[in-house]
């Protein structure tokens, strides 16, 4: 019976407190004074839970941005007093500063009273110690040139913790390239108050002269609130915070006159290195020249091509340039590395011209020059073969060739005749060496038909192992390994000939097919526009050379090939 009376009492209570005639609408805010960067929470309440419509929030959009809206209904009985209500929590962000009014809002037939709040305008000055959160934006220079690096630093300073994930807008700047170069967190004390600092750093490269605008960057977070109130239907969720950094404008000047290319940097270096001494090169032997250009305040992609001038008697085979960037606290340092294989075509002293680059010093605001001084290259004749010819080398030179005779350059197929200069030069050098070798052998064979005694041949086991390694590298299409191993094997197979390069191998072999295959391999490795080479063709000629050498050691009946360069 007691339970029945309690149920009836609750029903009567619900009907009495939910009657529409008694429903009233109220409005309240959590704070009456806020800054332009802080949100305000508007709480709307109707003392009823029966068929209550949502409020009309349209009047709020004149002076506020509606960030979020939530609804909750509750019936409770505390100390014999019943209560039933419906609430809405509306989070608002002021759009303007000054004295604002939250207008009366309609909830069904009910209307709330208007509420006045005071919105403090945003202070653009930074470092204000009486604020909980603020944003700083800093640039290292207000006046720059086109493509000159601008360092942008954005800091969020906060004396309170953030409840939910905070976000900082990335800069989007017209007519500029923007690269983030770092971020970090640390602490800072301002006027005795501790602030946590979140910092991001950017490098900006303007691409056009005129005024460069860095727009305000937005920062959003939620601060305050515990979210654990049992009596608060919505919980204490904190306040949304939306800040904007100050706007910055940079004056961008065009390049200085007489600058081609235009290279603005705070520090620039140009360094030359060689893999071997350039004062003692030999004809036909390659050396690698490396030019390294580094500039603080430029990316590697912004650095110009050096394009050193050519030299009569030297052939340059440039490799593809290597471009890289190093990101540091003070900006980006770009590097461009240009390597070239240098092959002398004749002996003698040759002047390698200077490499000069004019650049703009952004620190001292003046032109400077980076210089690689001119130097004299001393080229020695190609290493001559041994003065005492051998029967094995004679067999190599005198074995009838299965290929067709050498073809003049003009009669080459179109794909070869129109090839880039590296291919043409390699063809001429190898063809000339082959022709001179053949003529000297023909002259010697007429005047001195007697053959020298055959020397002892190479160690068969070592020769087999080295040739097997050479065959593997060639089949794999590894041009660098093939070139190196071919030289090693040739020196082992023909110990009495001083063979220093594959050019020497082609010269003493006097086999046009081998010369052409080696030319294709060298062009693929060193050429400015490398083409394909057929490893199987080269391997076929190398194996034929090996077979001829083996036969020559067994039947030394022909004269040896004399040295190409005498004395």
Same structural domain for residues 361 and 454?
no
Q: Are residues 73 and 155 in the same domain?
A: no
Q: Give the DSSP letter of residue 162.
A: B
Q: Give the separation between CA 298 and CA 516, rounded to whole angstroms.
A: 44
Extract the tokens encoding 181: 């170069």
Same domain flag for 113 and 209 = no
Q: Per-residue pLDDT for the chain (567 aa), expressed as one digit of tens each?
A: 555 555 545 544 444 444 444 468 899 998 888 877 777 889 999 887 777 889 999 999 999 888 888 888 887 766 667 678 889 999 888 888 889 999 999 988 888 999 999 988 765 544 445 678 889 999 999 999 999 999 999 999 998 888 767 899 999 999 999 999 999 888 888 888 888 899 999 999 999 999 999 999 999 888 875 544 434 444 556 778 888 888 999 999 999 998 889 999 999 999 999 988 888 888 888 889 999 999 999 999 999 999 788 888 998 888 889 999 999 888 999 999 999 888 898 999 999 999 999 999 999 999 999 999 999 989 999 875 433 343 333 333 333 333 333 333 333 333 333 344 454 455 555 555 545 444 444 454 444 443 334 445 567 877 888 888 889 888 888 888 888 889 888 888 888 777 777 777 877 777 778 888 888 888 777 765 556 788 999 999 999 888 888 776 654 433 333 333 333
- Domains of the chain: total: 4
Residues 329, 216 share a domain: no
Whether residue 356 is found in the same domain as residue 418:
no
In a domain, 3, yes or no: no
Q: How far is CA 266 from CA 144, 254, 357, in A?
A: 12, 17, 15
In a domain, 51, yes or no: yes
Report d(CA 142, CA 517) in Å as an integer: 61
506/432 same-domain check: yes
Instruction: Choose the final residue of a domain: 88, 120, 152.
Output: 120
- The answer on 215 and 282 residing in a single domain is no
Q: What angle do CA 44, 47, 52 make, to 5 degrees?
A: 75
Q: Within this chain, do residues 169 and 233 fall inside the same structural domain, yes or no?
A: yes
Nearest-CA neighbor of 104 among 49, 42, 53, 47? Answer: 42
pLDDT at 401: 36
**Which residues are CB-contacts of 457 (< 8 A; sequence separation ≥ 6)?**
392, 553
- Residue 155 falls within a domain, yes or no? yes
pLDDT score, position 564? 31
482 and 447 in a single domain? The answer is: yes
What is d(CA 328, CA 322) in angstroms, rounded to the nearest whole number?
Answer: 20
Whole-angstrom Cα distance, residue 265 to residue 259? 13
- Give domain status of residue 561, yes or no: no
Domain of residue 433 covers 391-554
Give the C-alpha separation, 23 to 19, whole Å. 7
pLDDT score recorded for residue 339: 92
Number of Cβ within a 10 Å radius of residue 116: 10
Please give the pLDDT value at position 296: 95
Q: Among 360, 380, 400, which residue terminates a domain?
A: 380
- Look up the CATH number of the domain holding residue 371: 2.60.40
pLDDT of residue 330: 85
User: Who contacts 472 (Cβ-Cβ below 8 Å, separation ≥6)?
Assistant: none
Please tell me the distance from the alpha carbon of residue 563 to that of residue 567, in angstroms, as a whole number: 9
Main-chain phi, psi angles of 561, to 5 degrees: -75, 125
545 lies in the same domain as 403: yes
Q: Give me the pLDDT at residue 531, please.
A: 62
The long-range contacts involving 405-414, CB below 8 angstroms and separated by at least 24 positions, are: 405/512, 406/431, 406/434, 406/435, 406/512, 407/512
* Predicted TM-score of the model (pTM): 0.56
**Helix, strand, or coil (residue 443):** helix
Instruction: List the one residue out of 260, 338, 253, 265 whose CA is nearest residue 298.
Output: 265
**How is residue 38 written in tokens?**
């802080």
Q: Is residue 325 part of a domain?
A: yes
What pLDDT is stored for residue 231 in this prediction? 40
Predicted local distance difference test score (pLDDT) of residue 356: 94
* 435 and 549 belong to one structural domain: yes
Determine the straight-line distance between the first and last CA of the chain, rounded to whole angstroms.
Answer: 133
Specify the 3-state DSSP secondary structure of 243. Answer: strand
440 in any annotated domain: yes
CATH classification at residue 161: 2.60.40.740
pLDDT score for 326: 93
566 domain-assigned:
no
Q: Which of 95, 120, 145 represents a domain boundary (last residue)?
A: 120
Which pLDDT belongs to residue 563? 36
Looking at the fold, whether 456 and 544 belong to one and the same domain comes out as yes
- Give Dmax over CA atoms of the chain in angstroms: 143
Q: Is 433 exposed, middle or buried (0-12, 13-18, 19+ CB in 10 A)?
A: buried
């Amino acid at each position: 019976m007691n339970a029945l009376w309690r149920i009836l009492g609750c029903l009567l209570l619900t009907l009495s407190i939910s009657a529409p005639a008694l429903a009233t609408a109220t409005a309240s805010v959590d704070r009456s004074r806020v800054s332009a960067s802080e949100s305000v929470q508007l709480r709307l309440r109707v003392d009823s839970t029966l068929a209550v419509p949502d409020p009309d929030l349209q009047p709020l959009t004149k002076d506020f941005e509606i960030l979020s809206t939530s609804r909750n209904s509750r019936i409770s009985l505390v100390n014999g007093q019943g209560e039933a209500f419906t609430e809405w929590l509306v989070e608002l962000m002021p759009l303007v500063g000054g004295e604002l009014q939250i207008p009366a809002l309609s909830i069904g037939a009910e209307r709330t009273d208007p509420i006045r709040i005071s919105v403090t305008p945003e202070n653009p000055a930074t470092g204000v110690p009486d604020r909980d959160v603020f944003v700083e934006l800093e640039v290292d220079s207000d006046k720059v040139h086109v493509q000159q690096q601008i360092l942008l630093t954005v800091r969020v300073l906060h004396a309170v913790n953030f409840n939910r994930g905070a976000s900082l807008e990335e800069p989007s700047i017209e007519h500029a390239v923007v690269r983030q170069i770092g971020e970090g967190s640390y602490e800072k004390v301002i006027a005795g108050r501790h602030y946590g600092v979140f910092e991001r750093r950017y490098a900006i490269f303007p691409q056009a002269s005129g005024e460069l605008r860095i727009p305000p960057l937005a920062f959003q977070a939620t601060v305050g609130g515990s979210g654990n109130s049992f009596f608060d239907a919505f919980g204490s969720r904190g306040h949304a915070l939306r800040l904007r950094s100050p706007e910055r404008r940079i004056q961008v000047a065009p390049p200085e006159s007489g600058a081609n290319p235009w290279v603005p940097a705070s520090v620039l270096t140009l360094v030359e290195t060689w893999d071997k001494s350039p004062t003692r090169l030999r004809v036909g032997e390659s050396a690698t020249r490396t030019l390294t250009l580094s500039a603080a305040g430029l990316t590697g992609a912004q650095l110009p091509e050096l394009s050193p001038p050519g030299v009569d008697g030297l052939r340059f085979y440039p490799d593809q340039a290597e471009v890289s960037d190093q990101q540091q606290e003070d900006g980006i340092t770009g590097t461009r590395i240009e390597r070239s294989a240098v092959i002398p075509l004749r002996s003698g002293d040759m002047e390698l011209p200077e490499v000069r680059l004019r650049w703009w010093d952004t620190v001292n605001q003046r032109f400077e020059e980076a210089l690689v001084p001119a130097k004299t290259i001393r080229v020695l004749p190609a290493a001559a073969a041994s003065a005492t010819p051998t029967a094995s080398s004679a067999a190599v030179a005198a074995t009838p060739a299965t290929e067709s005779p050498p073809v003049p350059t003009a009669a080459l197929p179109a794909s070869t005749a129109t090839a880039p200069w590296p291919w043409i030069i390699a063809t001429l050098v190898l063809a000339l060496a082959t022709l001179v070798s053949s003529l000297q052998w023909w002259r010697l064979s007429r005047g001195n038909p007697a053959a020298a005694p055959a020397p002892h041949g190479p160690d068969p086991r070592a020769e087999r192992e080295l040739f097997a390694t050479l065959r593997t590298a060639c089949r794999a299409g590894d041009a660098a390994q093939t070139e190196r191993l071919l030289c090693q094997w040739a020196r082992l197979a023909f110990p009495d000939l001083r063979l220093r390069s594959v050019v020497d191998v082609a010269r003493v072999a006097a086999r046009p097919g081998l010369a052409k295959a080696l030319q294709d391999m060298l062009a693929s490795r060193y050429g400015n526009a490398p083409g394909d080479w057929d490893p199987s063709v080269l391997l076929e000629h190398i194996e034929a050379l090996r077979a001829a050498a083996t036969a020559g050691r067994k039947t030394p009946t022909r004269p040896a090939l004399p040295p190409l360069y005498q004395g």
